[in-house]
Amino acid sequence: MLDIIVLVKQVPDVKKVKFDRERGVIDRKSAPNELNPFDLNALEAAVQIKEELGEDAAKITALSMGPDMAEDSLKEALARGADEAILLSAREFAGSDTWATSLVLSTAIKKLADYDLILAGEKTVDGDTGQVGPQIAEFLDIFHAAYVSEIKKLDNDNHNIQVISELWQSSFLKTLDFPCLLTVTKEINDPRLPSIKDKVQARKAEITKWDYSALSDYIAAEEIGIKGSPTRIKNIEVAPAIEREGEVWRDGYEKANEKICELLQEKQLLGGE
Amino acid sequence: MDKEKASGILVFAEERKGDVHNVAYELLNKAQELKEDLDCEVASAVLSSQKLDYSELIYRGADKVYCIEDEKFASPEENYYKKNLLKITNAFNPEILLLGATGFGRSLAPRLAIALETGLTADCVDLQIDEESNKLIQIRPAFSGNILAHIKTEGLPQMATIRYKEFTEAPRDTSRSGEIIKLEPTEGEIEVGIEKIEERAKDITEAKIIIAGGQGLKQPQDLDILQDLADKLGGMVGASRDIVDEGYISHAHQVGYSGARVKPKIYIACGISGATQHIVGMKEADIIIAINKDPSAPIFNVADYGIVGDLYEVVPDLIAKIEDCM
Ligand SMILES: Cc1cc2nc3c(=O)[nH]c(=O)nc-3n(C[C@H](O)[C@H](O)[C@H](O)COP(=O)(O)OP(=O)(O)OC[C@H]3O[C@@H](n4cnc5c(N)ncnc54)[C@H](O)[C@@H]3O)c2cc1C
Ligand SMILES: Nc1ncnc2c1ncn2[C@@H]1O[C@H](COP(=O)(O)O)[C@@H](O)[C@H]1O
């Protein structure tokens, strides 16, 4: 049995969300939540692996740290093919930076004990760091491959996986032994939509919830949440807007193109390379 | 690391086939500025797969260059890099550790931060020293770049990845002197199989001119029109995600949130609507020109020059006019 863990996070819909300038945080109530779009690709990759290996040959566990309402995102993960979902939710976890988040998640993974492959998204649309994946790999002391755009081959007998990792303007074929962690890009696949039937079923499904007591044997409360986070937001400023000429030609492009030519000449960009 | 005694700024210089990525020279320049407030040393760390002229890093502002030479660095394996960088970090004992936010930097730095038991701020666009505490203020965009968060790290070293092209490159001063310190690579093999299977000739983040296409293009061959314009100007073709997804062009050309962030001198968006996820990747171009049929397309809000029109007419006319000027 191949044990796959997919890390998923509930995030606000960034197109709609408002920012609480006083507190320097996103006002989560201002927008509906969704499953981080990059994590959908990680989940789809897991589902495809399972389809290839066969229903009984792999198990997918979706793991998330977040507030209680993140249950919705985990239900979506179940609808999209996860077999089990675990939500790490506790007051003690709130306010975690990437250090504390990856400590909590990696501790939960250690507690799960059985894991061969961990899949994470390239980044979250709210945190936007892409750090949590590689940091979990370091906490677990396992190898990781980043910017994975393709899974070439999974060799269950030899317990390894071959992937394409996009680094240095190049594509590298990497072979990693299990257990290992992959962060995947949006290129890796097109996540399928869950069927209505799966959605209905998932809505009724139970989400396993772990609060701090589930991890308290392994980590002290001071190590996590706001207290345990080494990085602190001191203040925020509104980014200065970039001034633009804003000249628009609505009828006819001839004049506009002449202007562009002048501009290119002025900037000495007409020489080619 | 001996955190009690930590001092100085360490800049990781990423080697690629005998050259150092330019972002290192930008960070060395910024480090000079930070050094004035901190009164400390600036060092650079290089892991190189071949012999480099390490004095270049001294000319660009490093007081010390720590280098480890090992063929294995020709393979981007984060864990092996991390172990070796730990050696250098332990030797220099920095209070500030900076890496370029290249793809590899963003994948390596998180491992290193956990190993050093410290925080990490991703994708910074500026750095300052707080006058009162002498601590590093790491400034990073959040919330689609509408807001800049000022972040401080409790504990040491204070670590951040910094975006390419945020600072100017350090000037080259060949009269500068410094110390070059060679360390031995860590023992052991890379335990991940790595084989390079494709290398792209050009890096879109280096392009001075980008002609980008979007869904306004009707079929893949029509990209030739944009390529033609790019060739005339010595530029590169960029793309919105939608046409990358449809297979018009490879992901290496994608500009935006899940593609490259670019800062060319001129960006010409042809048939691109200007979704937030596209704009975050190109809004810092010096000059933005937009060609779109729809006068209400959001791309016009960030453009210096906008042309409401059909790209199939506008671009060929522009090419003809450029030919006349040359
Ligand atoms: C998590 C996430 C990450 C994303 N990352 C990226 C990213 O990195 N990069 C990116 O680009 N997008 C990204 N997107 C997608 C983004 O939201 C938009 O869907 C995409 O940018 C739209 O591409 P487009 O402008 O080519 O297409 P459209 O929005 O369809 O716009 C096409 C435009 O062409 C114009 N047009 C049509 N015909 C002509 C003609 N003949 N002449 C002139 N104009 C014409 C139309 O008026 C229209 O404005 C991301 C989305 C998500 C959710
Ligand atoms: N709170 C969380 N719970 C579960 N997974 C997470 C969480 N935060 C981040 N991740 C995973 O780590 C990836 C990178 O996140 P980030 O570092 O926030 O950009 C995401 O795509 C997720 O797969």
For residue A23, the model assigns a pLDDT of: 64
Domain closes at, from B155, B176, B196: B196
For the record, the structure tokens of A223 come out as 């190590």
Check whether residue B166 and residue B210 sit in a common domain. no
- Residue A20 located in a structural domain: yes
Q: Say if CB B271 and CB B291 are below 8 A apart.
A: yes
Letter string b/e over residues A57-85, b meaning 16 or more CB atoms within 10 A of that residue's CB: ebbbbbbbbbeeebbbbbbbbbbbbbebb
Ligand nearest the Cα of residue A61 is 2
Check whether residue B155 and residue B243 sit in a common domain. no
- Residue A211 located in a structural domain: yes
| CB–CB contact A133 B110 (8 Å) | yes
Letter string b/e over residues B10-24, b meaning 16 or more CB atoms within 10 A of that residue's CB: bbbbbbbeeebbbbb
Q: Domain range holding B304?
A: 202-325
**B303: chain A residues, CB-CB within 8 Å:** 244, 246, 248
For residue B17, the model assigns a pLDDT of: 85
Q: Say if CB A175 and CB A162 are below 8 A apart.
A: yes
For residue A269, the model assigns a pLDDT of: 85
Residue B324: burial class (beta carbons within 10 Å; 0-12, 13-18, 19+): exposed
| CB–CB contact B107 A147 (8 Å) | yes
For the record, the structure tokens of B99 come out as 């890496």
**B318: chain A residues, CB-CB within 8 Å:** 253, 257, 260-261
Q: Domain range holding A206?
A: 2-228
For residue A22, the model assigns a pLDDT of: 64
With left for phi above 0 and alpha for psi between -120 and 50, is residue B59 left, alpha or beta? alpha
- Angle at which helices B103-115 and B78-92 cross, to 10°: 60
Of B283, B317, B325, the CB nearest to A254: B317
Its pTM stands at 0.95
For residue B322, the model assigns a pLDDT of: 93
**B137: chain A residues, CB-CB within 8 Å:** 234
Q: How many CB pairs under 8 A join A and B?
A: 259
Q: In Å, what is the CA distance from B111 to each residue of A102, A229, A245, B163?
A: 11, 16, 43, 18
Model confidence at B325, in pLDDT bands (50, 70, 90)? confident
A9 within ligand 2 shell (Cβ under 6 A): yes
- Residue A233 located in a structural domain: no
Task: Give the CA dihedral B258, A130, B107, A76, nearest 10 degrees.
Answer: -90
B129-146 residue pLDDT tens: 999 999 999 999 987 777
Check whether residue B109 and residue B219 sit in a common domain. no
* Sole residue written with tokens 């863990």: A5
Query: Is the pLDDT score of B16 beyond 90?
Result: no
The residue of chain A nearest to residue B287, with distances taken between CA atoms, is A244
Q: What is the mean pLDDT of residues B56-75?
A: 97
For residue A146, the model assigns a pLDDT of: 98
- Residue A179 located in a structural domain: yes
Check whether residue B10 and residue B146 sit in a common domain. yes
**B103: chain A residues, CB-CB within 8 Å:** 146-147, 166-168
Best mutation site among A5, A101, A106, A107 for ligand 2, i.e. most ligand atoms within 8 A of its Cβ? A101
Domain closes at, from B196, B218, B243: B196
What percent of chain A has a predicted confidence (pLDDT) above 70?
96
- Residue A223 located in a structural domain: yes
Check whether residue B47 and residue B166 sit in a common domain. yes
Query: Is the pLDDT score of B126 beyond 50?
Result: yes
Check whether residue B216 and residue B138 sit in a common domain. no
ipTM of the complex: 0.94
A144 within ligand 2 shell (Cβ under 6 A): no
Q: Say if CB B264 and CB B210 are below 8 A apart.
A: yes
Check whether residue B91 and residue B239 sit in a common domain. no
> What stretches of chain B show up as alpha helix (H) in DSSP?
23-38, 55-59, 78-92, 103-115, 223-233, 241-245, 276-282, 311-325
- Residue A74 located in a structural domain: yes
| CB–CB contact A143 B325 (8 Å) | no
Check whether residue B211 and residue B171 sit in a common domain. no
A14 within ligand 1 shell (Cβ under 6 A): no
Check whether residue B268 and residue B320 sit in a common domain. yes
CA angle A36, A225, A11 (to 5 degrees): 15
- Residue A107 located in a structural domain: yes
Q: Say if CB B158 and CB B135 are below 8 A apart.
A: yes
B83 within ligand 1 shell (Cβ under 6 A): no
* Mean pLDDT rounded to a whole number for chain A: 93
Domain closes at, from B196, B226, B243: B196
Check whether residue B50 and residue B129 sit in a common domain. yes
Taking alpha carbons only, the member of A73, A65, A121, A120 closest to residue A94 is A65
Best mutation site among B211, B276, B277 for ligand 1, i.e. most ligand atoms within 8 A of its Cβ? B277
For the record, the structure tokens of B6 come out as 């930590």
Query: Is the pLDDT score of A14 beyond 80?
Result: no
Ligand nearest the Cα of residue A41 is 2
Radius of gyration of chain B (CA): 22
Residues 6+ apart with CB under 8 A from B113: A99, A131, A135, B119, B120, B159
| Centroid of ligand 2 to alpha carbon of A121 (angstroms) | 7
Domain count, chain B: 2
Q: What is the mean pLDDT of residues A130-157?
A: 97
Whether the CB of B322 is below 8 Å from some CB of chain A: the reply is yes
Query: Is the pLDDT score of A44 beyond 80?
Result: yes
Model confidence at A273, in pLDDT bands (50, 70, 90)? very low
Check whether residue B146 and residue B53 sit in a common domain. yes
| CB–CB contact A19 B143 (8 Å) | yes
Q: Say if CB B14 and CB B23 are below 8 A apart.
A: yes
For residue B149, the model assigns a pLDDT of: 93
- Residue A271 located in a structural domain: no
Ligand 1 atom with minimal separation from the B310 CA? 42
Distance from CA of B252 to the nearest CA of A (A): 8
Q: Look up residue A14 and give its DSSP letter.
A: T
**B203: chain A residues, CB-CB within 8 Å:** 169
Check whether residue B164 and residue B245 sit in a common domain. no
B188-208 residue pLDDT tens: 999 999 999 999 888 999 999
Do β-strands B136-142 and B42-48 pair in parallel, antiparallel, or remain unpaired? unpaired
Query: Is the pLDDT score of B238 beyond 70?
Result: yes
The residue of chain A nearest to residue B232, with distances taken between CA atoms, is A272
B271 within ligand 1 shell (Cβ under 6 A): yes
Residue A51 CA neighbour count, 13 Å, CB half: 8
For residue A24, the model assigns a pLDDT of: 60
Q: What is the mean pLDDT of residues B91-117?
A: 98
Domain count, chain A: 1
Best mutation site among B223, B240, B280, B300 for ligand 1, i.e. most ligand atoms within 8 A of its Cβ? B240
Show which of residues 85-114 on chain B sit within 8 Å of chain A, judged by CB atoms. Answer: 103-104, 106-111, 113-114
- Strand runs labelled E in A69-121: 84-88, 117-121
Of B82, B114, B302, the CB nearest to A139: B114
- Strand runs labelled E in chain B: 9-13, 15-16, 19-20, 42-48, 64-69, 96-100, 120-124, 126-129, 136-142, 147-153, 158-162, 179-183, 193-199, 209-213, 236-239, 266-270, 287-292, 305-308
Model confidence at A97, in pLDDT bands (50, 70, 90)? very high
| CB–CB contact A234 B137 (8 Å) | yes
| CB–CB contact A134 B192 (8 Å) | no
Q: What is the mean pLDDT of residues B241-266?
A: 95
For the record, the structure tokens of B222 come out as 């029509």
Between B277 and A269, the higher pLDDT residue:
B277
A107-122 residue pLDDT tens: 999 999 999 999 999 9
| CB–CB contact A239 B113 (8 Å) | no
Query: Is the pLDDT score of A130 beyond 90?
Result: yes
Q: What is the CATH number of the domain that holds B7?
A: 3.40.50.620
A182-226 residue pLDDT tens: 999 999 999 999 999 999 999 999 999 999 999 999 999 999 999
Taking alpha carbons only, the member of B155, B159, B117, B111 closest to residue B138 is B159
Ligand 1 atom with minimal separation from the A38 CA? 1
CA angle B263, B205, B291 (to 5 degrees): 55
Q: What is the CATH number of the domain that holds A60?
A: 3.40.50.620
